[in-house]
Amino acid sequence: METLFIDKEIKYTGEQLSPHWIYKNFNIMGNAIVAFIGECDVKLNHMVDIEDVINNEPIYSKKMLSFIEENYNSSLVETVYKQRLLVTITKELIEKKNPSVKITRSGDDLYIENKKLSVSIATKSITSTLIHFALNIISEGAPVNAADLIQHAGITDIKGFAEEILKLYKAETSDINNAACKVRGVI
């Protein structure tokens, strides 16, 4: 699993959740996860979550920390497990950095004081599976009751935080692969 923090702002529109986006834009071939900061504005025509489309709930944030992952050898169900792992690692890291923050996870979403901190989706393309996971850096202007990393979680070094998540996630997925490889089959 290759990782990269992208040092330029990217506006996430939902179009980035497509096969080979990481490879075409950052020359990373194969399973990879990247992180970047930027506005998030996903209109209904680019929504992957059909429930959000039915409920007419587009996504908007002035500034988010986004993660996009692409896997070429995972089923959609396995990718949902990876998505939940990424969310859980993020929750644990926030709690480690700021033990006074009461953060809860419900499925693939994180909340602080019943305010939504994150958005996330896992989907399948014709060649791969994809994850988008993002956390509000600024909650002002969000269409829902939202929390953010700076004001509610006390995270101010967003790049360092993102790089730590990438490092922890890469180590955990590598350890899972090693755990699967080190056992002998039983009959």
pLDDT in tens, the chain (187 residues): 999 999 999 999 999 999 999 999 999 999 999 999 999 988 766 667 667 656 666 688 899 999 999 999 999 999 999 999 999 999 999 999 999 999 999 999 999 999 999 999 999 999 999 999 999 999 888 878 899 999 999 999 999 999 999 999 999 999 999 999 999 889 8
- The Cα–Cα gap between 85 and 90 comes to 9
82 occurs within a structural domain: yes
State the total domains in the chain.
1
106 occurs within a structural domain: yes
Range of the domain at 101: 2-181
- The Cα–Cα gap between 155 and 39 comes to 18
149 occurs within a structural domain: yes
Are 34 and 68 within 8 A, CB to CB? yes
Q: Collapsing DSSP states into helix, strand and coil, what is residue 50?
A: helix
9 occurs within a structural domain: yes
186 occurs within a structural domain: no
Is the whole-model pTM more than 0.85?
A: yes
Are 130 and 124 within 8 A, CB to CB? yes
27 occurs within a structural domain: yes
